[in-house]
Structure 1
Amino acid sequence: MSTPAPLPVPTPAPESANTSPSAAGSGPTAAELLDFVRRVAADAEIVASLPLDPEGRTWIQLEGPGGSEAWLIGWPPGTGTGWHDHADSIGAFITAAGTLKELSLAARLPTDGWKTLELTEGIDRSRELATGQGRAFGRHHVHEVLNESVTEHAVSVHAYHPPLPRIRRYSRSGDLLRLEQVERPEDWR
């Protein structure tokens, strides 16, 4: 799907303590990104602007705060991302409609120089994120996001800072995690 021009997203009033700028030049914090995705998810007009496709995910790029990258994403029933991370970017996402499931690893992985890792017991995490629920995450957060519904679309809002320099994609077989591919922005835009 080709990406249209980013949708403008209303900015909050300056008196809002939750959206105060970060230290000069450092960009938004994970908490500020989470606040942003919450505001966007609560805007029914923006959420309704996303065309939904029964065959595959759809997306619209949004204007994120403080130079961040943001997306509104539609998830048909039974779709998911596969295991991946966002490299050096922090991020946040929230479910704006439907329910998503996030599987993640509660361990920081080496950033480079490996192809296969054996994961230790007890690092798997799973959370269900119904409409209005979301989370923030730090750099190198490895996860998979799924719409497990067999009948309902889900919609989510995502924001990353700095804008995604790359996404690393993994395959998983039991306790083995294998780096399969590194994507750059030109691969998904």
Structure 2
Amino acid sequence: MPQHVTPLPPALSPSPSPSPAPAPASAPTSAELLDFVRRTAADQELVDSLPLDPEGRTWVRLDGPGGSEAWLIGWPPGTGTGWHDHAESLGAFATARGTLTENALAVRLPASGWKTLELADGLDRSRRLSEGTGRAFNRHHVHEVLNESPDTHAVSVHAYYPPLPLIRRFSRTGAVLRLEQVERPEDWQ
């Protein structure tokens, strides 16, 4: 997760859209998470309430649909996440301000039992997500998210279900992907 936590004042919790989507009766789908992050990213008052730090990412936790975990994240120019996945959680994110780049692998990696993998050719995918655009992803989705702008902050909304049990962090050199660290929620507090 990002470098510092900023609590969201109760008065600045996400305002409902003009016609809010009904709460899911069971676990939210990736489509429902995507709908939530898009609607929340369009909430200009909420987006404007996020304090931005010129040095590191900032974030506030939000209430996501159906018990999901959600975050509003500020990205200073030139920052990124590094390669990681969200384990058994599916998720979605949308850009509320600026442009983010997502580099991803078009393959599902084994959940465990490995430290180093050599990736086949043709697995890399890259997409730019400008303001108002988003995407959903399934479990074990390996990616990195970057604000490649040299001078503009970006802001995004992310949601995960089930709430993140862990994040696996990877290093990458050419075609070699190496598991470097496993983080658990207590590491982000």
Q: For the structure 1 residues 6 and 178, does the alpha-carbon distance in structure 2 shift closer, same or farther, using more than 3 Å as the test?
A: farther
Taking structure 2 as the reference length, what is the TM-score of the superposition? Answer: 0.92
Aligned to 2:127: 127
Residue correspondence of structure 1 range 74-113 to structure 2 within 5 A: 74-113=74-113
Taking structure 1 as the reference length, what is the TM-score of the superposition? Answer: 0.92
User: Alignment partner of 2:144: what SS?
Assistant: strand
Q: Does the Cα contact within 8 Å between 1:6 and 1:62 map onto a contact in 2?
A: no
1:9 to 2:14 alignment: yes
Aligned to 2:60: 60
Offset of 1:12 from its aligned partner? 5.3
Residue correspondence of structure 1 range 127-146 to structure 2 within 5 A: 127-146=127-146
Aligned-residue CA RMSD (Å): 1.6
Q: Does the Cα contact within 8 Å between 1:96 and 1:132 map onto a contact in 2?
A: yes
Q: Does the Cα contact within 8 Å between 1:9 and 1:64 map onto a contact in 2?
A: no
CA offsets 1:69-127 (integer angstroms, 9 cap, x no match):
00000000000000000000000000000000000000010000100000000000000
Runs of 4+ in 1 over 2 A off after TM superposition: 5-13, 19-22
Counterpart residue identity of residue 70, structure 1: A
Offset of 1:188 from its aligned partner? 1.2
- Which residues of structure 1 form unaligned runs of 5+? none
Q: For the structure 1 residues 100 and 74, does the alpha-carbon distance in structure 2 shift closer, same or farther, using more than 3 Å as the test?
A: same
CA offsets 1:15-66 (integer angstroms, 9 cap, x no match):
76xx3454x44x1000000000011111000000100000000000001111
User: Alignment partner of 2:136: what SS?
Assistant: strand
Offset of 1:4 from its aligned partner? 1.6
Inter-partner Cα distance in structure 1 for 2:52 and 2:17: 28
Q: How many residues align?
A: 184
Offset of 1:6 from its aligned partner? 7.6
Percent pairwise identity:
71
- Which residues of structure 2 form unaligned runs of 5+? none
Inter-partner Cα distance in structure 2 for 1:177 and 1:78: 22
User: Alignment partner of 1:112: what SS?
Assistant: coil
